[in-house]
Structure 1
Amino acid sequence: MLPLFDLSLRLNGYPIQEADAELRKIAALSAKEYLLFLEERKTAIVAYHLENNAFYKELLAASTVKNWADLPVLNKTNLQKPLAERLSKGFTSTNIYSNKTSGSSGEPFVFAKDKYCHALTWASNKYRFGWFGLDLNQSYQARFYGRPLDFIGHKKERFKDLLSHRFRFAVFDLSDVVLEGFLAHFATKKFDYLNGYTSSIVLFAKFLQKKNIVLKDICPSLKVCIVTSEMLFEGDKILLEKQLGVAVINEYGASELDLIAFENPEGEWQVNAETLFVEILDSNNVALPYGQEGRIVITSLYNKAHPFIRYEIGDLGILDEKSTLQKPILKKLIGRTNDVALLPSGKKAPGLTFYYITKTIIEDDGNVKEFVIKQTKIDAFEIKYVSDSKLTVDQIQQIEKAIILYLEPNLQFTFIREKTLKRNKRGKLKQFTSLV
């Protein structure tokens, strides 16, 4: 009999055994065999959608396509139309997996995968989690995520957690009283790993630091922590590994695609080259060489229900110079393309630059727990923060000096102390927002 997690996928029409076998087969290919596989899959998925998908056929109608680089780049604005208009022939709501993106890019939309493609998504997760001795059918997960607040949605999520062998810690309230309750669960449950939003687990680690507790001492069964959906800064990784007492693994994914990159046992952010083809493009949609920064554009090699071909996910990144087609390494994830601050001088700066500079100063003494930055005007920024005590004049002056040093002078900052910071419906914390 199939284990419970695999069985639940199978009962819902997702052929996980076949997907597991296919993924293992791709992972075992030689370098030469992989190049043939990649070209075959790229050609096949384009041909399939040109024949079976009216939406994609119309998108290509104005293009002269002689090679891969001629294919248009698909963006999220293209996809903001009813799902039924974007599905391939033979696919309906009854034979697909569909969901809605989180909206962290500001452009949410409903997407679809055929059931085999979705099974491959789970096979990819199982394969990579296995690098660290985790088994989705057996390993017990401490899940730091949001959850639906409506009655039916909440019950469904609880049932999915049961099938997936995970215990959910809802991240909407992360006050010390609630975190004390979280800690109590670790003392009584044999968790194998933590998985969830970076900011939430970092806040829990700061709580542990304040209490001088290493989590693995409380819960010896813990093996690893996997963080996702939000930026992981090096200082936060050091804090997490110290207070959790286990290795911290960085994950990068997108619900509409798959797991995009996952930190391997050698500490490299290895890109998923089994089910995806990842490119870094410049502003003219020209592929950049390894080592150069550009827009992350991804092709789903297996999704027949819906085309994600040269799809711009909305992030900026760099592939490492040592990358190969079979083993691309994500050297750096810089942030979202829409999280850019336009400054009075005309300079454009990634919003995370402000976040990073500020973070190095105001989190130094452990007083500030979390903060977010919002650009309200071209020269005005609002910093909301949660702390034990109010920021000092000296700290504020240090931040202003650092901004002048790294960016430019005459920017105005307003500091607002809050009891809690607002997260989105799924529990994510958006670190930088521009209203300009």
Structure 2
Amino acid sequence: MLSIAHLENWIRKTMPKLQPLYDAAPYPLRNVLTSARGYVLTQMRYSPAFWRHLEELLEREKHSPEEMEEYQNDSLRRLISYVFHHVPFYRQLMLERNVRPRDIRSTKDLHRLPILGRETIRARWKEFLSDDESKGGTVRVFTSGTTGAGLPVVYDAPAVARNQAFSERQRIWAGVTPREWRITFLGSRIVPLNRSCPPFWAYNYLEKQILMSIFHLSPAYISHYLAFLATQCGKVLEGFPTVLSIVSHMARAAGASLPMKAVFTNGEPLSMQGREAMESAFAAKVYDSYGMTEWAGLIQECERGRFHVISDYGILEILDQHGQPVPSGQEGYLAWTGFINRRMPFIRYRIGDKGMWDQDQTCPCGRPFPLVSPTVTRDGDNLVLSDGRILSPRAINQVLKNKTSFKVCQLVQHDKETLEIRIVSGNGEAEKEAAIVKKDLDMLLMGQFHTFVQFAREPIQRASGKIPLIISAN
């Protein structure tokens, strides 16, 4: 029997072929198709297990710091035992290092295992898959890293429910009940790219969600966006920070009043200027979060404006360049050990981002989660098209999904007509995938740029060390 995870996997694989049929459908039918897609996601996200997990999370946040530490250590012991018996990469690693599950009893013992980098996963990702196959099937997705270097990630339906429960707990902190109507500015192509009149949105009725196109934001169309959003005031707003920043700046310039219940941002760093623009335009507090497609770690902002490491989601270490822990107040690399995805678990996974432990570990919210300050390590300019559309790094990033052969992919806008696709190759498939990226990018940009591929040895870095996705060189 086809499971919901099998169905989700099939949809993801066939979606590029189905997109032209979706684009050709009339608007009412697109809403039906969007809702049908939402049905599959709803079955995974809001399964009966989701509600059990959410109840447990709400109880667990009442723990003392000592109780939370014991929960972490117990979860770590179970994870280490599991990967030793079921994950080929870790079993081989532990045997080679003469480490057994009994040797890792707490977070203090994690140093017995090495730091894990993205290149190791990219080269050996199948070895990270659990051989304890889920009867309900698995879903394969790809990270859409901000530098264009994607990784395959595998999870199952129970992991989806667990992950959703953590998202909903943060929403409860903001006074939002599970499954309230929300307006979403993420990466789905829910409107044909060549559309020049509203609606620039689609309804997912089963998830109580209105999806907004992030590919049509321009001075020519913004009045339609603002007029529609004015009819949706009081709802929850969520999206990529750079996209919501574009909308909020345009709203303020137009003098529009768009009060929302709460704003949730994720997927990329949130700047202070972006936060201020959103809170002004939407008259609501912004709740930011830091996560990853790999589901190895999570940082969430509480109602008091402090950032908490969600320690029942996973373990965070902040390390220097030699892999040693840094003291509070000193910046280091984030290394994560995740608890929720047993299909493809990661231990001491260093994704490349940085942060520091707050010296003041007291938050008025009273929750037992440590306080941390993630720092912005990557950024990028927006891409401005001749027709006025403004594409954020996250909008452009959608064409880089499923591409695993690049170490880095950047877009360099040399002038109003020329766009360089600059690639640092990761393996022999880079030329093939570069051609696909160029084709997809040309479709997205609708011929407004002459694009060309340029392979390079190193990425372009700013003086700060940041690696931007989009660079305006003119």
TM-score by length of 1: 0.69
Partner of 1:49: 83
Structure 1 residue aligned with 2:258? 215
Aligned Cα root-mean-square deviation (Å): 3.8
Out of 352, 356, 360, the residue aligned to residue 314 of structure 1 is 352
1:102 is matched with which residue? 144
Return the match for 2:181 from 130, 140, 157.
Answer: 140
Matched, 1:36 2:70: yes
Residue in structure 2 matched with residue 252 of structure 1 by the alignment: 290
Matches within 5 A, 1:341-356: none
Match of 1:276 among 314, 318, 323: 314
Report the secondary structure of 1:41's partner residue.
helix
In structure 2, give the amino acid aligned to 1:204: V
Following superposition, the deviation at residue 124 of structure 1 comes to 0.6
CA deviations on 1:209-244 (whole Å, 9 max, x unpaired) are 22122212xxxxx21111222222212222221122
Given residue 280 of structure 1, which amino acid in structure 2 is its aligned partner? Answer: I
CA contact (8 A) 2:297 2:316 kept: no
Instruction: After TM superposition, give the deviation of residue 125 of structure 1 in Å.
Output: 0.7
Higher percent of residues as strand: 1
> What is the match of residue 238 of structure 1?
276
Report the 3-state secondary structure (helix = DSSP H, G, I; strand = E; otherwise coil) of the residue aligned with 2:350: strand
The equivalent of 1:183 in structure 2 is 226
Q: State whether structure 2 residue 131 is matched by structure 1 residue 89.
A: yes
Aligned length: 348
Does the 8 Å contact 2:333/2:352 carry over to 1? yes
| Residues 1:165 and 2:165 aligned together | no
In structure 2, the partner of 1:111 is 153
Q: CA 1:6–1:275 in structure 2 vs 1: closer, same or farther (change >3 Å)?
A: farther
CA deviation digits over 1:335-384, x for unaligned, max 9? 14xxxxxxxxxxxxxxx5xx7xx99xxxxxxxxx8888xxxxxxxx9677
Contact 2:300 2:307 in 1 (8 A): yes
Alignment correspondent of 1:432: 468
Give the partner amino acid of 1:15. Answer: A
- Please tell me whether the aligned partners of residues 46 and 161 of structure 2 are also in contact (alpha carbons under 8 angstroms): no
Q: Where does structure 2 lack aligned partners over 5 or more consecutive residues?
A: 1-37, 104-108, 193-200, 383-389, 394-410, 417-447, 452-465
Q: TM-score, normalised by structure 2?
A: 0.64
SS in 2 for 1:289: coil
Cα 1:160/1:74, change in 2 over 3 Å? farther
- The offset of 1:81, in angstroms, is 4.8
- Quick one: which of 323, 341, 357 aligns to 1:303? 341
What is aligned with 2:111?
69
1:169 maps to a residue whose letter is: M
Q: Distance in 2 between matches of 1:299 and 1:306?
A: 12
Distance 1:203 1:433, change over 3 A: closer
Q: Which amino acid is 1:163 matched to?
A: L
* Greater alpha carbon shift after TM alignment, 81-90 vs 103-112: 81-90
2:361 and 2:371 in contact (8 A); partners too: yes
Q: Using a 3 Å threshold, how does the CA distance of structure 1 residues 191 and 79 change in structure 2: closer, same or farther?
A: farther
Higher relative contact order (CA 8 A, sep 6+): 2
CA distance in 1 between partners of 2:46 and 2:392 (Å): 41
Contact map agreement 2:45 2:164 (CA 8 A) in 1: no
- Identity across the alignment (%): 22
CA contact (8 A) 1:52 1:88 kept: yes
Unaligned runs of 5+ in 1: 152-157, 217-221, 337-351, 360-368, 373-380, 387-418, 423-429
